[in-house]
Amino acid sequence: MQEPILGLSTKEVMEHRKTEDEGNLRSSITKTNTQIVKENIFTLFNLLNFIIAALLLGVGAYSNLLFIAIIILNISIGIAQELKAKKMVDNLSILNRPHVTVLRDGKELLVETEEIVKDDVMVLDSGKQICNDAVVLRGSLEVNESLLTGESDAVIKEEGDELYSGSFVISGRCYAKVIHVGSENYATKLADDVKKEKQVHSELLGAMKKVTRFTSFLIVPLGILLFIEAMLLRHMTFADSIITSSAALLGMLPKGLVLLISVSLATGVIRLAKMKILVQNIYSLETLAHVDVLCLDKTGTITDGKMKVKTVIPMTKLPKEETDKLIQSYLAACNDNNATFQALEEEFSAKAIYSPVDRISFSSHRKWGAISFSDMGTVFVGAPERMMKQLPRDVEEQMEAGYRVVVIGYCKRMWNNENELPEDIHPMYIAILTDTIRKNTRQTLEYFRNEGVDVKVISGDHLKTVSIIAKKAGLERWNDAIDLSTVGEDVNYDKICKEYAVFARVTPKQKQQLVQALKRQGHHVAMTGDGVNDLLALREADCSIAVAEGSDASRQISQIVLLNSDFTHLPQVVLEGRKVVNNVTRTAGVFFIKTIYSILVSLFCILLNIPFPFIPIQITLIDAFIEAAPSFLTIFESNTRRIHGGFLKKVLGNAAPFALSITIMIVIVSLTTPFDANQNQTIMYLLLMMTSMVAVVKSCIPFTKLRVFTCATMILGAFGALAVLPSLFEVCTVTFNMLGYLTIALAGMVILTSIFMKLKKIQIIRIR
């Protein structure tokens, strides 16, 4: 008789807390407040802007320093919005935090991970995350260490074996003594590349990095050349040289665009948090918006995961009293706690009548488990195709109706070979289980179908069960189904991904390979899951989604967690992501107009040795009224259209016609106008403003009340500022002759822009 394990006493726990360091502190999934402040302040764009501001301050060009107020406002808004999102996500993530069952004073207690101390005894079973390094005291486990080692094969852990934090329990049950906490844990000591943590791809972030690198590469040499020409070749004063050069450099920096992206994403995360949807990485919102294939696990996702025994069919001549004792003993001794075993326990109840001597835990790979009892033989529980060669017709009909089938078998021998079943196994009972489809599932699948998202159902269940559940859920291709247990080792996953929509009897490794095949075909893949058997596929997917009722493991590694455990809320996540991407794409083109023409006009000025035609305060007015205000007024619109094309290519394509026409007209005006320098500058500046406004108006089509208000505010604000403070912006009164020239130039600008836009459309058609 083994001595009972009592765990630490309350007094011992208090003593450990006094002597141990604070290494076991709770880690946040979000950035710290300090990180948020640093990342918003210490950027390359900000550095360049502050250098330009310092140069202008040094030469006393105080009126041209107004742009720095916009930079400071951008920083403040970005910090405030990210801090607000962080607070909501941190509060919500408390619901998602893993808890650990420990033995203290001989009783099982559920505690948070940071409350664990050395020598605590953890109670671990299927689906649990191992949060601390430990040694198995009693029992055995199958453990997945793929997040640490990259190897997906299950590892058997028995008495005396060490368990590593960061791994997950596949099956079994054990008591394990904690040997490390906090920073001493193995997972904490691993480098990021060893952990093989998944990096979320963000097209928006990647595009901004490319723009940052490109502009940073150009801005320094162009700035130096503009300044040297002004000082040495045109003999301008030092102050005037700084001012004209600074205007060109300020125009190259799309200052508000980074803020626009971060605020849009943070706002989407906040809205989802209010709906109990936890976004564990802010860029996951963008990723899901691009998804065109959604892989759904059946149990716990399409269905609610709460199973109930519908019918029990006897299959043996043994007395019912004897078979029930065997099953009750099995349920009392087994370490499995998934929905199937919970339903069986509710039907038969668990009673420790016979003494177990050997145990093989149920696993999704074997699809069966077994327990041997002293002098009584072995009881098996498993999938029907593993346990029986031929099922009764009425049982097959139940499976065809979508019910799950579990066979409970028996053999008189002791059995400890986990690789195969004995030949003399005999079925005792066939249990028919029901699994309820979640409400609104049909509408959800119809939504994804209408939005061009291909839905795949991937499950470890029997082929008929999965396909019928898919049919009931409203999947159009429910009959395009394949049993992956019958395909052998040499599988063409690329082929079957195209041919089938329902995949049954899928192992965890096969789930991963299906996702990999879909990604090879150029798809953006989202994967939902709730169990340890979904881990590999969740890690592989572009966007991983877990339900709160699922295992600790699936929740901790997923980018999005549905805290109400209802996948029918997924369309809302997609819609939020689309709002962000569509609104940023629509407005970003306006920011890039200034970047493109500033570079091109700077090159023109260097070649002809003429000053850049604008000054910093003029660029600031465009930044405030034509770029920033319209973008932020319309960024919260509900634009949920399907996303097509790449972000950077699309916005540069939208900006290029306007930027090129502005550049050409500035060149023409610079070379042909009969007016003085101040009048020339005024004409070019008005042309620049009006063309930029046309770009904003075009981006607002089709008009809404908000967009009409935005355009009116932009026009009245920008021209109102020029009318009230003409000397500040260094514009002169427009004469009749200037107005005529301006009208002709503006008409030419419109014609050029139209030509460039038509050429762009022709190019797109050719590419397609």
161 counts as catalytic = no
Last residue of a domain, one of 156, 179, 195: 195
Indicate if 638 and 624 belong to the same structural domain.
Answer: yes
Residue 536: inside a domain: no
Whole-number pLDDT of residue 553: 67
Residue 568: inside a domain: no
Report which of residues 348 and 200 the model is more confident about: 348
Domain extent for 161? 10-29+101-195
**Owner of token pair 């069986």:** 344
Whole-number pLDDT of residue 380: 95
Whole-number pLDDT of residue 354: 92
- Give the range among 248-257, 402-411, 701-710, 743-752 with minimum mean pLDDT: 248-257
H runs (alpha helix) in 439-527: 441-450, 463-473, 493-499, 508-520
Residue 80: inside a domain: yes
Q: How many domains does the chain have?
A: 3
Residue 150: inside a domain: yes
Q: Is a pLDDT exceeding 60 seen at residue 501?
A: yes
Residue 301: inside a domain: yes
What is the token pair recorded at 313?
Answer: 């069919």
**What is the share, in percent, of the chain residues with pLDDT greater than 90?**
24
Using one digit for the tens of pLDDT, what is the confidence trace for 610-651?
888 999 999 999 988 998 888 888 777 777 787 777 788 888
> pTM of whole model > 0.85?
no
Q: What is the mean pLDDT of residues 514-520?
A: 94
Whole-number pLDDT of residue 762: 63
The CATH number of the domain where 681 resides is what?
1.20.1110.10
Closest by alpha carbon to 174, among 186, 192, 190, 156? 156
Q: Is a pLDDT exceeding 70 seen at residue 767?
A: no
Banded model confidence at residue 198, pLDDT cuts 50, 70, 90: low
Q: What is the mean pLDDT of residues 433-437?
A: 84
Indicate if 51 and 175 belong to the same structural domain.
Answer: no
Indicate if 440 and 466 belong to the same structural domain.
Answer: yes
Indicate if 513 and 616 belong to the same structural domain.
Answer: no
**Owner of token pair 């026009």:** 715
The CATH number of the domain where 116 resides is what?
2.70.150.10
Q: Is a pLDDT exceeding 70 seen at residue 25?
A: no
Using one digit for the tens of pLDDT, what is the confidence trace for 54-99?
999 998 888 888 888 888 887 888 788 788 877 777 776 665 677 8
Are 333 and 371 within 8 A, CB to CB?
yes
Are 749 and 661 within 8 A, CB to CB?
yes
Indicate if 22 and 63 belong to the same structural domain.
Answer: no
Give the helix, strand, coil percentages of the chain, each rounded to 5: 55, 15, 30
Q: Is a pLDDT exceeding 70 seen at residue 304?
A: yes
Those residues whose C-beta lies under 8 Å from the C-beta of residue 245, and which sit 6 or more positions away, are 223, 226, 227, 230, 612
Indicate if 22 and 38 belong to the same structural domain.
Answer: no
Whole-number pLDDT of residue 23: 46
**What is the share, in percent, of the chain residues with pLDDT greater than 70?**
92
Residues 567 and 597: their CA atoms lie apart, in Å, by 47
What is the token pair recorded at 62?
Answer: 């105080």
What is the token pair recorded at 258?
Answer: 């980074």
Give the CA angle between residues 15, 21, 22 to the nearest 5°: 110
Cα-Cα-Cα-Cα torsion 393, 399, 405, 408, nearest 10 degrees, comes to 10
Q: Is a pLDDT exceeding 90 seen at residue 233?
A: no
Residues 67 and 627: their CA atoms lie apart, in Å, by 13
Among 133, 297, 454, 552, the one annotated catalytic: 297
